[in-house]
Structures are given as structure tokens and as C-alpha cells.
Amino acid sequence: MRFAAAIALSFFAASAHAQNSGTAKLVDEARNAALGMQKELAGKLMKEIEAKGPEGAIGVCGTLAPNAALEISRSKGWKVSRVSLKPRNALLGPADAWEQKVLLDFDGRAAKGENPGALEHYEIVDEPAGRQFRYMKALPVAPLCVSCHGPSEQLGAGIRERLAKDYPSDRATGYAPGQIRGAITIKRPL
């Protein structure tokens, strides 16, 4: 009897270890994809700001970010996007219920002093489409970001005009450095 219990316990421990190492692999892959996307966009954004100023860089966030997310989604077979509680583009950036919960958690954790650049969350969830691995990496506001995402009254006239023209339903202003602007979100079927 003890032998059977020991075998069952060792099977359970091996199963839990395999599950944890499988989850660790999913987290590493998602983290690397999110950080790669974040780094690529930051580089393109900086080049555009140097060439055309902050007003000219608005297009980087508006077109290059969704294209980068689409590219990763296609290559990996995942759903990758950027979301926010206050999206600039209401068609591309609204968060679903799970993402809203995580974004609110990120806001609370950042307000309590956690490093906003290190905030991430992941879990395996059961959804109508099946089991999904879900991952989010916070996108904090950097000092440079307030040029287009800071308080409306502090934005340059050219930026306000461009935002009003390109994003008439824009809600992505009023931020200060260190606040959570949104997140890169990844959904991967299991």
C-alpha cells in the first residue's frame, strides 16, 4: 500500500513539475515575443521622432504597432495585440474583460510602487473556444510618451490637431510618466 502511495505521489510530483516547466516555457516564449515587439516599436518610434518630431511619430503607434502584432500573430499562431483601458483607436485597442482586470491590477501595483516596466501577468484560462494561455506585459508611459499621451492641455497644437483628425474618439491622453498606458497581450490556444 505504501509503495502504491509513493508511486502515486511521485507521479503527481513529476506531473506538477512537467506542468510547471511547460508553463515556464509558455511564459518565456510570450515574454520574448512581447519584449521583442516593444523593442522594435521603440526603435521605430525614436527614428520617426528624430526625423519628423512627435507629431510625425503618431503614425508609428497607429500603423506599425498593429502591423507588428499581426506579424507575430501570423508567425506564431497566437493572437497578439496592444490593449488599453483608454484606447486611442477604439477599433484596435479595447481590452476584453480578462485584460481589463489585469490592466486594473497593473495600475494598482504601479501605484503601490512596483516597477511598471516589470509588470506582467499570465494564466491558463478556460474560454468558450477552449483552454488558452494568456499573457500580458505592461506598457508604462516613458517621459517621451507624454508628448502625445500627456494631459491634453499640455500637448502641442500640431499634435492635438493630428489626434483630433486621426483619432476623433481618442481617450489616450492625460498620462504621466510611470503610469500604465496599456499592455501587450498574447492569447495562445493550448
Tell me: the pLDDT tens digits for 118-175?
999 999 999 999 999 999 999 999 998 899 999 999 999 999 999 999 999 999 999 9
Cβ 170 vs Cβ 86: under 8 Å: no
Question: What is the residue extent of each domain of the chain?
Answer: 2-189
Q: What is the arithmetic mean of pLDDT over 82-96? A: 88
pLDDT digits (tens, 9 = 90+) for 24-55: 999 999 999 999 999 988 888 888 889 988 88
- All cell numbers assigned to 40: 522594435
Cβ 186 vs Cβ 146: under 8 Å: no
State the Cα–Cα distance between residues 144 and 60, nearest whole angstrom: 14
- All cell numbers assigned to 75: 508567425
